[in-house]
Amino acid sequence: MIYPSHSKYALREIEVELEKIIFNLIKKASTQLPDDTERALRKAYEQETNQIAKLQLKTILDNIEIARRKELPICQDTGTLIFFVDVGIDFPYKHEIRNSIYKAVEIATNVIPLRPNCVDPFTDKNTGNLGEKIPWIEWNLIEGKDCKITLLPKGAGSENCSALEMFNPSDGMEKIEDFVVNHIVECNGKPCPPVIVGMGIGGGADIAMKLAKRSLLRPVGERSKNKTIADLEERLLKRINETGIGPMGLGGKTTALDVHIEYASRHPASFPVALSIQCWANRRASVIIKENGDIEWI
């Protein structure tokens, strides 16, 4: 229950409630792999015939099980914490969200625990999980009175495999498809395959990159609602898996669990294509906080 009054005392109580919710969000995201991803990994395990690949997938599935049972982080790289906040224009506790996130991150770092993953680029000092502009909050103002918070903890192994290419509009889709498949081949085992490939097309360099990352929030197995895009997702997934890079880059049938594409209109003279790669530990969790303080986990 969130207390609806805005007196000074109650404000702290609202923050405490929000902190608890966000703490639980961080814990869920760090320790429980979404069902869609686990299902896809299990399917990959069942289909695999290469013994080394099968051993990788078995180890992954065992690790997921231990994480769930012991409520511990799936991977020691608990990532850079990126919060996507879709806040209703009439959500009554807008002011408290930012501080509650910071406080919850601080508590979660000690309690779950998370690895201290914030390093100042100039002094090299590790500041825990709170640092300059980190955790990153991606604000999105929406209609209504609810607030949806999604956490995507992003590990560095996969993040270091991000890519951006500014194509010429005349290059054509075939060249873009080759770029994606080639990139996954050259990344090989580095991003911890089987990966989820997030692809952002259009907008501009920054917009394409943001779309690529945002596409990772979509569940594994869910196709774009746009038929052309959905077909491209299917085609790329098939081609990536035909490369045989396999789990951990050691060879095998499943290199990617899915390809997700989001797009924006492009400038007539520009064709940006961005890739955000997610490791098999596709950690994400969402919660909706209602105006009356009720919460819904999704």
Partner 1 sequence: MDLKTPLSERDVRRLKVGDVIYLSGIIFTSRDKAHSRVVHDNETLPIDAKGLAVYHCGPIVRKDGKRWNIISAGPTTSSRLEDMESDFIRSTGIRMIIGKGGMGERTTKACMEYGVVYCSFTGGASLIGADCIKRVVDVFWLDMGIPEAVWVFEVSRFGPLVVSIDSKGNNLYEDVKRRARTQV
Using CB under 8 A as the criterion, which residues of the chain lie in contact with partner 1 when the complex forms?
A: 52, 55-56, 59-60, 62-63, 66-67, 70, 72-78, 113-117, 119, 126, 156-157, 160, 178, 181-182, 185-186, 188-190, 192, 239, 242-246, 248-251, 279-281
In whole angstroms, the minimum distance from the beta carbon of 247 to partner 1 comes to: 8
Nearer to partner 1, 2 or 57 (CB): 57
Nearer to partner 1, 185 or 205 (CB): 185
In whole angstroms, the minimum distance from the beta carbon of 286 to partner 1 comes to: 22
Which of 288, 204, 260 lies closest to 40 in space, CA to CA?
260
Distance CA 102, CA 23 (A): 10
In whole angstroms, the minimum distance from the beta carbon of 67 to partner 1 comes to: 6
Nearer to partner 1, 69 or 225 (CB): 69
In whole angstroms, the minimum distance from the beta carbon of 263 to partner 1 comes to: 23
Nearer to partner 1, 198 or 246 (CB): 246
What is the total residue count of the chain? 298
Nearer to partner 1, 135 or 246 (CB): 246
Nearer to partner 1, 4 or 244 (CB): 244
In whole angstroms, the minimum distance from the beta carbon of 34 to partner 1 comes to: 15
Which of 98, 102, 152, 106 lies closest to 128 in space, CA to CA?
106
Distance CA 189, CA 187 (A): 6
In whole angstroms, the minimum distance from the beta carbon of 134 to partner 1 comes to: 15
Distance CA 273, CA 207 (A): 10
In whole angstroms, the minimum distance from the beta carbon of 151 to partner 1 comes to: 18
Nearer to partner 1, 180 or 207 (CB): 180
Report whether 244 contacts 184 (CB < 8 A).
no
